[in-house]
Structure 1
Amino acid sequence: MATETRRTNCHYCGYCCAFLATVEDGRVTDLVPDTTRYPYDERILAGCRRWRMNLDALDGDDRVNYPLRRVGARGGNQWERVSWDEALDDIAARLGALAEEHGPETLASAIGGPHASYWPLHRFMNLFGSPNNMGIGQICWNPRIWMDALTFGWTVEADIVPGVTDCLFIWGTNPAESDNSAFWRSLIQFSKTEAALVVIDPRRTRIAALADVWLPIRPGTDCTLALGLLHVIIGEDLVDRAFVDSWCHGFDELAEHVLPYTPDFVAQACGLAAEDIVRAARLFGQARAAALVSGRGVDQVGASVAPTHRAICSLRAVTGNVDKPGTCVLAEGADFVSEMELEMTDALAPEQRARCLNTHLTPLQCYDGYERVRTLTEKLGRTLPARYLTSAHPDLVLHAMETGEPYPVRALIVNATNPLLTYADTHRVFEAFMGLDLLVVLEYYMTPTASIADYVLPIAAAVERPILQVHGGVANIGYGGPAAVDPYYERRCDYEVFRELGKRLGQGDAWPESTLAEAFAMQLARAGLDWDLFCELGIYCQQPAFAKHELPGLDGRPQGFATTTGKIELASEFLPLLGGPRLPEPAVPVTLCSEGLRAQAEQEGGSWLPMITGSRKQPYNASMYFNNPAFRAKSPYPVVEVSEATAVRLGLAAGDRVEIATDNGSARFILGTAPMRDDLVNVDYGWWHPEWEPGSPDFGGMWESNVNCLTSCAPGEPMIGTWSYNAIDCVLRKVNEPLSWENV
């Protein structure tokens, strides 16, 4: 028996932690943390329960191991095993025929992470000629990236340095649950220092419990709070005048704009204490170095998302907390081949870019908007990834599936994501997908989305595929490592699937590397790094320079910022070109409950309340890992949380069965209580039952406790199209009927 120790990496979160695999005759028999590679600390793995899945999942009974083709009715859970050649030949033929009939834009795609590389699918779509990469970037990552780029000329990242960073804001993110790794451990240590920690979150999360100031904000009022903080900082002259005078554009406009946002006004709007707002503002403004980290709680507030991020950018700028140690640092452009180049964005013909569904709805999140921003960022040699920032709005893709307008979308490729649970308005998504001519799903498991596919293709997972995580393509960092073994059974790396599919559709010259590892080697070669050496190191990272705006440009003068004015734009000169505002302005939260629904709920003893969704709960992540028996034993059922005071007011108790509803639909949960602001509902996200029979009629239980049966993907924010997963309303009432899983 041949036994080896090989380097590899976990794929169960974005850290992709390093491991050493014991391999016997091509099978992994053991895994242990590799402390010689990123993230270097075995204590991080000691607090993580996901990584232990790597071994069991390789031979899990529920894994999809062979290409499957649907027989019988869609969703009927009847499949036949076919060869890869048979599957890819048929898929390519059907895609070609649909493109011939309707144009290549008839194909849409959807992708998830962190266990997939985005660019192979994006390259395939560009070469096929479709602009319709349907994404959820509008509610995750895109808003911050767009507003950072328009304000600073590139993205910024928090540079939290103990002993240097005097104040840290954590805004709308819960690292103990969403991260639970190196960043969370660093925050625990930070909280023990003399530096100030301010947490803005309606829930008293574990990081909020460590804070010097906790601001339990009313969901959807984040922009108002940010403008109120600016009011105090500017009014009390806590501004870095030298930095503002030299490097900020529009300060006087911003100062006048925030005058109405007094602490008393903001306290009333946000449901906070005025003295806490003032204290938080002073901590940030008086710090020698302050950093701010925001998350999905900000990204998912609908129409207010872009103005909130712009106001946050202004907080950093007016206090001079930009591109200096311990603050928020402009990321470096990549030394290696960029995501945009790997995507082959420029291969998408102009006439196909013009078919982008977003163009007339979201003038920033489209190809026209992207190209305008690209001309700015390329002044300093940086290019944002294109396909994610031009991804088609789900509402528009679904409309094209439903109506054929402005053209029919008849095919969809889904890679490592589960839209029937993770996309808003599940009923609508289901009906649209059921009517497709071709639905192809690349997956590990028979998810609800996979159960209605025409083809389910088995994809290599952690330790079966190499990984190179590059932080979304906006920084000069990459980490990861090699596969420990070849994929088990007939699983394939998704890169190889798209390469083979592309070759069948005339894209052969665009896929010169036969494997993903070869493609990664090509990507790193530009930085002068050999793939084998990278696999030994586990990371490529160059220390950022500070005050890059002061470095000399080609003309010898300071290069400044890659914006229209060359300065940080507190008042935007760019957004008005697209019909947007010069200054951040709060928007009204969306309403999904009609007066009739509210009246009916009241008659039935229910209440009308604001709701937030999408809160992370370890060890789950979105709709993932519910098939792990140990996880389910710890968190066995879907929960709706309220504060103890709210439960008492509503006449409810922990353990009660409750129904929440909007005009879109309803779902049922078990009531729990948690420390959070009163009169607010926090709903578990992504719940289903993988242990149930796939397909019709229950589809893994997705109709019963899936909060996206209530949500809507109707565009909210006008520049990007962000819809609302937070700051939406619902009605809640007690029900007595057992949930179906209680009888199983």
Structure 2
Amino acid sequence: MTTEIRKTNCHYCGYLCAFDATLEDGRVVDFTPDPTRYPYDTSVAARCCRWPLNLEKLYDESTRVNYPLKRIGPRGGGGFIRVSWDEALDDIATRLRLLIDAHGPWTVASAIGGPHAVYWPLHRFMSFIDSPNNMGIGPICWNPRIWMDTMTYGWSVECDFRPDLTECLMLWGTNPAESDNSLFWRNIADYVRNDGKLIIIDTRLSMTAAKATLWLAPFPGTDLVLAYAFARVIIEEDLYDHEFVEQWCSGFDEFKTAAFERTIDEAAAITQVSAEDIRAAARMYATSKPAGLLSGRGVDQIGPNTAPLHRVIAALRAITGNVDVPGGNVLNEAPSFMSELELEDSALLSAEARAHGLNEPDCGIQSYAGWELADARTGKLGRHLPMRYLTSALPQRVWEAAITDKPYRVSALIVDGANPLVTYADTRLVMEAFEAMDLIVVLEFVMTPTALMADYVLPAAAAVEHPCFQAMGGVSDFCYGGPAAVEPQFERREDYAILRDLALRMGCDEALWPARDLTEELARTIAPTGMSWEDFTITGLCGGGAHYFKHLEIDETTGEPRGFATESGKVELAIPFLQRRGADVVARFTPVPGVHADVCHDPDCVTLITGARKQPYWASSYFEIPSMRARHPKPTVELSQATAERLGLAEGDACLISRQDTPDVEVLQYVHITNILDDVASAEYGWWYPEAVEDDPDFGKCFESNINLLTRGTVEGAREPLIGTWIYNGIPCRIRKKE
């Protein structure tokens, strides 16, 4: 028997923790955490229930998709037969060419997800066929922060949390204790144990909030009012950094005027955070230097107030002098490896295709026109944002085009590592769009509800079957990852290899896909750093390291400090560029009817938030695994004791949740009493029941407990005009006991 140890990485969340795989005669028999690579601490894996899945699912013949499958019978009827790769890809290529000839390349849409999918191969494929309509969850995850940081500073920033240096850490709408359980969370926990100051802003008393020095729980969707209240306290009490503001900020007077539009007491009434707590948090953050401020997905999902909130969060960092300072927030460097923009071959996308993007004219920034204007600014400092993810098509527009043929027909969809029928807003609309399409191709691990609606389900390699490489979208000079432990099992294939093969069958020049497999392509990606792929895999990390105060560096061409990549060369607290793109010059709060003013006056109504991360799941993933379901078998909706009593509910009760405006659509979840704001409900998302796939006409019961039955990807009305963010957090609803 031959025994071998190989380095590899877990793919069951986005942190890609390093492991050593033990192989006996070429077969993996064990995984052990590797203390020489990230996260450098075996206790992180010991606390994680997901990493054993790497072995459990590698040779799985019962739940994994192991061979190409072709639909037989009606769409959604559950009939599939096994076919060869050649048969599947030849037919898909032929059908795509026919649809493109009939309707134009924009008739093809795509949807991408994670953590296992590699985004840019699908985006490169879309660039090759000249379609602008790639979807992702960007408008409600990551994009608002990246876009507004770039508009404010000229590029994105990261929280430079350093427990030995950071004096205060503010986390806004993020819950790392449950969302990643990583080295970052361990460092936060150690920081708090050593009397570090931690401010948590979260409607829920999350596991992270339970550790806070100060926990503020704003009413859903009112975070912008709270942020401006912080700014008012900081300015009113003269706690801001005069030197940085005077030398390196523009628009301070306009920003101050906006911050002073409400008194602290008025802000307290709107947010339901006491004036005392508002002042305490603002003072703690402003008087602790350096201080880090990190926002998360929770505030990427509040509709028209999302982008404005991120503008004010960016401004708070600036007026307190915490931009590009050690221990505060650091302005990212451009990647020294191939950028996401290069990898996705965005330059191939024609001007005609860009004009057909299903985000025009709805999005002032998250559109190809918006990206081109922004790129002209960031390019002055040699930095280029990724195009594809930051110009994601609005799903609502894609679904409407599939159903109505307006503004043109969307007839085909390629899905890689995503499950739109469960995780996208408005499940019934998604289903209607699926039923109207001519071709759906899904690259997947298991038969998800989305896969059940496909014409072809292609078996994607997972976890240790392919190398991994996370480059943060190409907005920083940092990447991490590692090699595969074994070749893909059964007939699974890397998504890169699948999409490359499909592109070549459609006539693509092989020069656009020079690497034969993902390992070879990643070697090409890392080459500009001077490292080989083999060198990279020793540590699994590459990056130039942070350096600070870059705005003070002298530009050799002018002899002046280089400043920031904005129109003014300064941090812009008021942004004329955004005013020209359809927003206000300073951020404005938009009250949402039925939520911010009158919801609490309806005795039968509560305000619903969705999407809180819950271990052991990741979005709609891992529900098919018995060990995961045993840990958390039922979907729960969190209520305060007072709210539960008002509604006649008790712990563990089965309840039905409906929107205030569509009471006939109800979602089944189970009551869990927690310390959450009164009159607010937090429902879990991502729920389906894989055990019901075989005999359930509702596709794994994704029409039973899936909270996205109650969400809307609305473009008109409650929509933010720059990015198109819709509302997941702040939905008027009713909850009743299931009889």
TM-score, L = length of structure 2: 0.97
After superposition, the C-alpha distances for 1:472-523 in whole angstroms (9 at most, x for unaligned) are 2111111110000000000000000010001011212210100101110001
- Matched residue SS, 2:132: coil
Q: Which of the residues 569, 579, 583 maps onto 2:582?
A: 579
The 8 Å contact of residues 227 and 311 in structure 1, kept in 2 or not, is answered as yes
Q: Partners of 2:121 and 2:164 in 1: how far apart?
A: 42
Equivalent runs, 1:185-584 vs 2, <5 Å: 185-507=186-508, 508-553=510-555, 554-584=557-587
Q: Partners of 2:74 and 2:175 in 1: how far apart?
A: 42
Aligned partner of 1:643 in structure 2 is 640
Q: Partners of 2:567 and 2:217 in 1: how far apart?
A: 37
Cα offset, 1:222, TM superposition: 0.4
After superposition, the C-alpha distances for 1:622-680 in whole angstroms (9 at most, x for unaligned) are 11111121221121111111012221222211121111111453211111111111111
Q: Partners of 1:103 and 1:14 in 2: how far apart?
A: 35
- Matched residue SS, 1:584: coil
Q: Partners of 2:98 and 2:357 in 1: how far apart?
A: 21
Cα offset, 1:314, TM superposition: 0.6
Aligned partner of 1:588 in structure 2 is 591
Q: Partners of 2:404 and 2:545 in 1: how far apart?
A: 51
Cα offset, 1:696, TM superposition: 5.3
Q: Which of the residues 731, 734, 737 maps onto 1:734?
A: 737
- Matched residue SS, 1:468: strand
Aligned partner of 1:23 in structure 2 is 23
Aligned partner of 2:726 in structure 1 is 723
- Matched residue SS, 1:150: helix
User: Number of aligned pairs?
Assistant: 729
Q: Partners of 1:591 and 1:66 in 2: how far apart?
A: 49
Q: Partners of 1:140 and 1:588 in 2: how far apart?
A: 22
The 8 Å contact of residues 668 and 705 in structure 2, kept in 1 or not, is answered as yes
The 8 Å contact of residues 610 and 728 in structure 1, kept in 2 or not, is answered as yes
- Matched residue SS, 1:607: coil
Q: Partners of 2:696 and 2:98 in 1: how far apart?
A: 29
Question: Counterpart of 1:235 in structure 2: which amino acid?
Answer: E
Q: Partners of 2:360 and 2:476 in 1: how far apart?
A: 27
After superposition, the C-alpha distances for 1:545-576 in whole angstroms (9 at most, x for unaligned) are 10000111132211100111110000002101
Q: Where in structure 1 are there 5+ consecutive unaligned residues?
A: 737-744
The 8 Å contact of residues 480 and 535 in structure 1, kept in 2 or not, is answered as yes
Shift in alpha-carbon separation, 1:598–1:83, aligned structure 2, 3 A: farther
Shift in alpha-carbon separation, 1:249–1:695, aligned structure 2, 3 A: farther
Shift in alpha-carbon separation, 1:430–1:694, aligned structure 2, 3 A: farther
The 8 Å contact of residues 548 and 560 in structure 1, kept in 2 or not, is answered as yes
Q: Partners of 1:122 and 1:431 in 2: how far apart?
A: 25
The 8 Å contact of residues 136 and 392 in structure 2, kept in 1 or not, is answered as yes
Q: Which of the residues 619, 628, 650 maps onto 1:631?
A: 628
- Matched residue SS, 2:155: coil
Cα offset, 1:261, TM superposition: 2.6
Question: Counterpart of 1:72 in structure 2: which amino acid?
Answer: G
- Matched residue SS, 2:8: strand
Q: Partners of 1:346 and 1:451 in 2: how far apart?
A: 35
Shift in alpha-carbon separation, 1:590–1:134, aligned structure 2, 3 A: farther
Cα offset, 1:579, TM superposition: 2.0
Q: Partners of 1:590 and 1:407 in 2: how far apart?
A: 32
Q: Partners of 1:357 and 1:72 in 2: how far apart?
A: 31
The 8 Å contact of residues 47 and 181 in structure 1, kept in 2 or not, is answered as no
- Matched residue SS, 2:165: coil
Aligned partner of 1:66 in structure 2 is 67
Q: Which deviates more from structure 2 when the two are superposed, residues 424-433 or residues 638-647? A: 638-647
Q: Partners of 1:468 and 1:297 in 2: how far apart?
A: 26
The 8 Å contact of residues 466 and 516 in structure 1, kept in 2 or not, is answered as yes
Moved segments of 4+, more than 6 Å: none
Cα offset, 1:698, TM superposition: 2.2
The 8 Å contact of residues 421 and 450 in structure 2, kept in 1 or not, is answered as yes
Aligned partner of 1:39 in structure 2 is 39
Q: Partners of 2:206 and 2:328 in 1: how far apart?
A: 24
Cα offset, 1:682, TM superposition: 0.6
Cα offset, 1:694, TM superposition: 4.2
The 8 Å contact of residues 300 and 723 in structure 1, kept in 2 or not, is answered as yes
Question: Counterpart of 1:106 in structure 2: which amino acid?
Answer: T
- Matched residue SS, 1:526: helix
Cα offset, 1:541, TM superposition: 2.2
Aligned partner of 1:12 in structure 2 is 12
**Percent identity between the aligned chains?**
52
Aligned partner of 1:741 in structure 2 is none
Q: Partners of 1:459 and 1:18 in 2: how far apart?
A: 21
Cα offset, 1:271, TM superposition: 0.4
Shift in alpha-carbon separation, 1:721–1:590, aligned structure 2, 3 A: farther
Shift in alpha-carbon separation, 1:696–1:455, aligned structure 2, 3 A: farther
Question: Counterpart of 1:638 in structure 2: which amino acid?
Answer: P
The 8 Å contact of residues 301 and 724 in structure 1, kept in 2 or not, is answered as yes
After superposition, the C-alpha distances for 1:261-292 in whole angstroms (9 at most, x for unaligned) are 32111110100110000000101111121111
Question: Counterpart of 2:724 in structure 1: which amino acid?
Answer: G
The 8 Å contact of residues 656 and 671 in structure 1, kept in 2 or not, is answered as yes
Q: Which deviates more from structure 2 when the two are superposed, residues 687-696 or residues 708-717? A: 687-696
Q: Please, what is the CA RMSD of the aligned residues?
A: 1.6
Cα offset, 1:590, TM superposition: 5.8
Aligned partner of 1:740 in structure 2 is none
After superposition, the C-alpha distances for 1:135-165 in whole angstroms (9 at most, x for unaligned) are 2100000000000000000111111112321
- Matched residue SS, 1:711: coil
- Matched residue SS, 1:12: coil
> Is residue 655 from structure 1 mapped to residue 623 from structure 2 by the alignment?
no
Equivalent runs, 1:169-180 vs 2, <5 Å: 169-180=170-181
Question: Counterpart of 1:112 in structure 2: which amino acid?
Answer: G
Cα offset, 1:690, TM superposition: 1.0
Equivalent runs, 1:672-711 vs 2, <5 Å: 672-694=672-694, 697-711=697-711
- Matched residue SS, 2:465: coil
- Matched residue SS, 2:358: coil
The 8 Å contact of residues 76 and 696 in structure 1, kept in 2 or not, is answered as no
- Matched residue SS, 2:32: strand
Q: Partners of 1:25 and 1:83 in 2: how far apart?
A: 28
The 8 Å contact of residues 582 and 721 in structure 2, kept in 1 or not, is answered as no
The 8 Å contact of residues 302 and 717 in structure 1, kept in 2 or not, is answered as yes
The 8 Å contact of residues 448 and 694 in structure 1, kept in 2 or not, is answered as no
Cα offset, 1:253, TM superposition: 1.3
Question: Counterpart of 1:27 in structure 2: which amino acid?
Answer: R
After superposition, the C-alpha distances for 1:673-725 in whole angstroms (9 at most, x for unaligned) are 11111111010111111112347512101111110011100131111100011
Q: Partners of 2:645 and 2:360 in 1: how far apart?
A: 49
> Is residue 144 from structure 1 mapped to residue 158 from structure 2 by the alignment?
no
- Matched residue SS, 1:164: coil
- Matched residue SS, 1:93: helix
> Is residue 612 from structure 1 mapped to residue 609 from structure 2 by the alignment?
yes
Q: Partners of 1:590 and 1:393 in 2: how far apart?
A: 23
Aligned partner of 1:127 in structure 2 is 128
